Amino acid sequence: MSYNNLLVEVEDRVVFLTINRPRALNALNDQTFEELRHFFSTGYRECGDFHGVLLTGAGDRAFVAGADIKEFLDVAEQGNGEQLSRRGQEVFFLIERFHRPVIALVNGFALGGGCELAMACHLRVATENASFGQPEVNLGIIPGYGGTQRLNQYIGKGKTMELILTGDRIGAEEAHRLGLVNYTLPRDEAREKALELLRVIGSKGPVAVAQSIRLVNAYYGGDEGFHAESAAFGETAKTEDFREGASAFIEKRIANFRGK
């Protein structure tokens, strides 16, 4: 199995899945989404019998810095924001509903779609330099890959509202205190901890593990909030503010939003 933007290695029955676009801080472009979709729907079968997946970002700066903003001007042009959001949600549901544990080793920025990706994983282990946020509001849009729904599940309404409305980032210690990550540790220890968790879970009955994942997810019920998020993402992606926000990021300047 070979991908352009994903590295897949199997060692001691652990799949090491690395998003490999370090020069773009591992931003999730169209191709990376399709590769993730392929891996979590069928590609994983080529990895044999494994305990679980350790998902991380290449390099030492970022887990994933979000959706690829450089593709956003096309989205503004084509008016397909709602489809883009639905596609991202579908891929993240594949991860959240995967029958083996997927642990995010969050080794730097986990912003926007990167924070949403980490939240779709079953467990999160952060390195001390990790940071988390939903900065979409800085681009004139909202989180579109489940962030408005899952962040609530981890950290509650008050802090979710604050992070999504301000676009502010929080550090790994605070993410741990709030319950967004399971552990925050120095880099080497974080990797070891993630592997230890996979080994422990791998020693349990695979059917029980798969059913546990399914039932813990079931507690959170239906998908209406996710559908509403996609529709609202589509609306915000049709605004002039979105075009302005994406252009400002690309041109490395402050956006001038006008509310239309």
Catalytic residues: 116, 136
Q: Cα separation of 145 and 92, whole Å? A: 7
Asked if 135 touches ligand CAA (CB under 6 A), the answer is yes
Which of residues 57 and 147 has its CB atom nearest to ligand CAA in the complex?
Answer: 147
**CB of residue 130 to ligand CAA, shortest distance in Å:** 12
Asked if 112 touches ligand CAA (CB under 6 A), the answer is yes
Quick check: 131 and 117 in contact, CB under 8 A?
no
Binders of ligand CAA among 173-212, rule CB under 6 A?
A: none
Q: Which stretch binds ligand CAA (CB under 6 A): 67-75, 98-106, 206-214, 224-232?
A: 67-75
Helix or strand run (H / E) with residue 115: helix 113-120
Helix or strand run (H / E) with residue 92: helix 81-96
Asked if 73 touches ligand CAA (CB under 6 A), the answer is no
Segments of the chain assigned E as strands: 6-11, 14-19, 52-57, 62-64, 102-106, 109-111, 123-127, 131-133, 169-171, 183-185
Q: What is the SS3 assignment for 102?
A: strand
Q: Cα separation of 188 and 194, whole Å? A: 10
Asked if 70 touches ligand CAA (CB under 6 A), the answer is yes
Q: Which stretch binds ligand CAA (CB under 6 A): 45-53, 141-149, 172-180, 221-229?
A: 141-149
**Which residues lie near ligand CAA (CB under 6 A)?**
24-25, 27, 65-70, 85, 88, 109, 111-113, 116, 135-136, 139, 143-145, 147
